[in-house]
Amino acid sequence: MEKAKISLIRTFGRRRGKKLSARQRNLVDAVLPALLPADKEGGGAILEIGFGNGEHLILLAEQNPDKIIIGAEPFENGVAQLLAKITGEQGLVMPQYKNIRVWPDDIRKMPALGGSRFDCIYILHPDPWPKARHEKRRLLSAEFLKTLGTLVSKDGSIIVGTDHADYYDWILEQAKSAGLKIKARGGVAIKTKYQEKNLSGSKRTMYLALFPKA
């Protein structure tokens, strides 16, 4: 099977925030290396790109104990917060989260990505980069979506959520250019910390389900 070509481009988001606590620093140094994804884990796994603080990734792990759950997040503080949530006092990953793997960088740089086939790929609240001069920084370009379409299984899907109307419309056009089938996704909202921050305002999260064409 020919491996998908992954574009390695510059990551524009923040890499670090405030200084990590001693426990968080230790988890990143001692626990994270053992959680890096392996090539063999791509088949049938679930991938979340940009998992933030890890709330949804943890839920995925709990709901799918028989699947490998891979999270990609370049923001070190988010990675550290996830590690703190899935480990006990002794710094060991709790049994219910043994299926979690973490890639602490841009997903396009993950060596295990090429040739993988995921059952589902989630991308929730990616940075919309609303200014016109920053549009090229948007993650969900037609080129990237086309790549993701080659990484989901035959019956797999790509779930995208955003509360930014202009970005939603832009993603629709990019998905069409990428040759993906598109369905508006209703149902229960996928709750994350980012979404909760916006519940007090008028923003509503809109979801898309994208599918590779047969």
Instruction: Provide DSSP, the chain.
Output: -PPPP-------S-S--SPPPHHHHHHHHHTGGGGS--GGG-TT-EEEES-TTSHHHHHHHHH-TTS-EEEE---HHHHHHHHHHHB-TTSPBPGGGTTEEEE-S-GGG-GGGTT--EEEEEEES-----SGGGGGG-S--HHHHHHHHTTEEEEEEEEEEES-HHHHHHHHHHHHHTTEEEEE--SS----HHHHHHTTSS---EEEEEEE--
Higher pLDDT, 132 or 4: 132
Catalytically annotated residues: 127
Burial (CB count <10 Å: 0-12, 13-18, 19+), residue 117: middle
pLDDT confidence bin for 133, thresholds 50/70/90: confident
Average pLDDT value for residue range 78-86: 96
At residue 103, the pLDDT reads 96
Q: pTM here?
A: 0.84
Percent of the chain whose predicted confidence (pLDDT) is above 90: 58
Give 128's Cβ-side CA count (13 Å radius). Answer: 15
Q: Does 3 score more than 50 pLDDT?
A: no
At residue 200, the pLDDT reads 44
Give me the residue spans of the domains in the chain.
Answer: 41-212
Q: Does 168 score more than 90 pLDDT?
A: yes
Higher pLDDT, 8 or 15: 15
Q: Does 199 score more than 80 pLDDT?
A: no
Higher pLDDT, 184 or 16: 184
Q: Does 126 score more than 70 pLDDT?
A: yes
CATH code of the domain occupying 41-212? 3.40.50.150
Average pLDDT value for residue range 103-118: 83
Higher pLDDT, 99 or 20: 99
**Average pLDDT for the chain:** 84
Pairwise CA distance, residues 111 & 6, whole Å: 9
